[in-house]
């Protein structure tokens, strides 16, 4: 019996990265459904508030304690501000301001390379040659997937800056969590992270409602009005129940148990999977370049994940 349980546990561990990629990729689909009907910062603030409430109920029913210690709460709050408010806020505002989804994905997709560069700078030799080759292949695949979409959005100083902010936020958040956050129950960790993100984003959402015109939103227009269309309700339910409770929890779990470069390299697979979802849901073209990019990204991620740890430097 113990052998069967161990085999099931190993199978689950192998499936977690794939499940995370599948869930994370739906975020772009959710944005496409929800953004025409609500202001981005207001939507995210409501999503964070509902997610905190659901996590609190879940923890109560499961008998899970909240993280202990002011320092641990502070570290978790910082990661929440970076990985939730900074990353999601930057991406959603950039797309709302006209940045093409392909270009936004390309900018944020630089995270694995940025992470590897940082680790190589602060920890000489921490990224192996095989990992660098895998990162290069993964990025090449990413360019093939989103390259044909780059001309569909208007790139300006403000929206590109928002996308770069999102890139820096999720990269810093991943590295910060790996360095400072102790291993705790992912439900408690995410609840505190989301509280930090909500505290940071709520004032901006209030300003968004005060400074922008009200009224029923029109696709492509950024107003403070809410149109409770079924697409918006579905996007909100999915964002809370699947993206936050599922995707964010899996990301926290992966960061606690894996190397930063290995975890972030999984994000190379998100745009290809999103392209397949867009083909199935919105009948978007899925040409040979996208399929080839999918293969390159998968090979690159596999090389990074399986790269041997570099030998320690000898004195």
Q: Confidence class of residue 313 from pLDDT cuts 50, 70 and 90?
A: very low
Residue 224 lies in a domain: yes
The residues near 114 (Cβ < 8 Å, ≥ 6 apart) are 167, 168, 171
Q: Which residue has the higher pLDDT, 10 or 83?
A: 83
Per-residue pLDDT at 314 exceeds 60: no
Per-residue pLDDT at 62 exceeds 50: yes
Q: Which residue has the higher pLDDT, 286 or 253?
A: 253
Do the beta carbons of residue 41 and residue 49 sit within 8 Å? Answer: no
Q: At what angle do helices 230-238 and 2-34 cross, to 10 degrees?
A: 150
Q: Confidence class of residue 11 from pLDDT cuts 50, 70 and 90?
A: low
Determine the distance from the C-alpha atom of residue 251 to the mean position of all C-alpha atoms in its chain, rounded to a whole number.
Answer: 8
Structural domain range at position 27 = 23-306
Q: What share of the chain has pLDDT > 90, as a percent?
A: 29
The CA distance from 113 to 30, in Å, is 26
Residue 315: predicted pLDDT: 34
Residue 287: predicted pLDDT: 73
Q: Confidence class of residue 312 from pLDDT cuts 50, 70 and 90?
A: very low
The CA distance from 22 to 26, in Å, is 7
Residue 213 lies in a domain: yes
Residue 194: predicted pLDDT: 96
Residue 236: predicted pLDDT: 94
Distance in angstroms between the alpha carbons of the first and the last residue of the chain: 48
The CA distance from 264 to 176, in Å, is 13
Total domains in the chain come to 1
Residue 178 lies in a domain: yes
pLDDT, tens digit, for every residue of 170-221?
989 988 988 888 788 889 999 999 999 999 999 999 999 888 877 655 555 6
Q: Confidence class of residue 254 from pLDDT cuts 50, 70 and 90?
A: confident
Q: Confidence class of residue 151 from pLDDT cuts 50, 70 and 90?
A: low
Residue 314 lies in a domain: no
Point out the least confidently predicted range of 137-146, 158-167, 169-178. Answer: 137-146
The residues near 208 (Cβ < 8 Å, ≥ 6 apart) are 39, 40, 41, 42, 224
Residue 140 lies in a domain: yes
Q: Which residue has the higher pLDDT, 81 or 22?
A: 81
Residue 165: predicted pLDDT: 93
Do the beta carbons of residue 165 and residue 310 sit within 8 Å? Answer: no
Residue 9: predicted pLDDT: 52
Per-residue pLDDT at 64 exceeds 70: yes
The CA distance from 64 to 180, in Å, is 21
Per-residue pLDDT at 273 exceeds 50: yes
Q: What share of the chain has pLDDT > 70, as a percent?
A: 76
Q: Which residue has the higher pLDDT, 196 or 143?
A: 196
Residue 80 lies in a domain: yes
Do the beta carbons of residue 267 and residue 112 sit within 8 Å? Answer: yes
Q: Confidence class of residue 87 from pLDDT cuts 50, 70 and 90?
A: very high
Q: Spell out the alpha helix ranges (H) of 181-313.
A: 186-211, 230-238, 249-257, 260-265, 270-282, 288-306
Residue 175: predicted pLDDT: 87
Sort 83 into a burial class: Cβ within 10 Å, 0-12 / 13-18 / 19+.
buried
Per-residue pLDDT at 23 exceeds 80: yes
The CA distance from 243 to 88, in Å, is 12
Residue 234 lies in a domain: yes
The CA distance from 292 to 300, in Å, is 12
Residue 11 lies in a domain: no
């Amino acid at each position: 019996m113990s052998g069967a349980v161990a085999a099931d546990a190993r199978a689950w561990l192998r499936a977690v990265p794939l499940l995370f990629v599948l869930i994370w990729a739906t975020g772009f689909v959710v944005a496409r459904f929800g953004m025409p009907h609500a202001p981005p910062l207001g939507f995210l603030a409501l999503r964070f508030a509902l997610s905190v409430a659901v996590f609190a109920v879940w923890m109560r029913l499961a008998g899970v304690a909240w993280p202990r210690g002011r320092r641990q709460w502070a570290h978790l709050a910082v990661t929440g501000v970076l990985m939730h408010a900074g990353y999601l806020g930057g991406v959603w505002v950039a797309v709302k301001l006209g940045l093409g989804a392909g270009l936004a994905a390309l900018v944020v997709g630089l995270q694995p390379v940025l992470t590897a560069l940082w680790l190589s700078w602060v920890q000489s030799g921490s990224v192996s040659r095989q990992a660098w080759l895998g990162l290069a292949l993964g990025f090449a695949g990413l360019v093939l997937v989103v390259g044909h979409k780059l001309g569909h959005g208007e790139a300006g100083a403000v929206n590109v800056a928002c996308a770069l902010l999102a890139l820096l936020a999720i990269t810093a958040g991943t590295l910060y969590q790996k360095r400072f956050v102790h291993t705790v129950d992912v439900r408690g960790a995410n609840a505190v992270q989301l509280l930090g993100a909500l505290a940071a984003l709520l004032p901006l959402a209030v300003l968004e409602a005060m400074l922008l015109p009200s009224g029923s939103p029109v696709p492509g227009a950024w107003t403070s009005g809410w149109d409770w269309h079924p697409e918006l309700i579905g996007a909100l339910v999915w964002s809370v129940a699947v993206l936050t409770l599922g995707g964010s929890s899996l990301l926290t779990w992966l960061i606690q148990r894996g190397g930063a470069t290995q975890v972030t390299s999984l994000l190379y697979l998100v745009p290809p999977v999103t392209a397949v979802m867009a083909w199935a849901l919105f009948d978007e073209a899925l040409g040979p370049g996208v399929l080839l990019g999918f293969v390159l990204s998968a090979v690159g991620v596999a090389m990074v994940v399986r790269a041997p740890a570099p030998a320690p430097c000898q004195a």
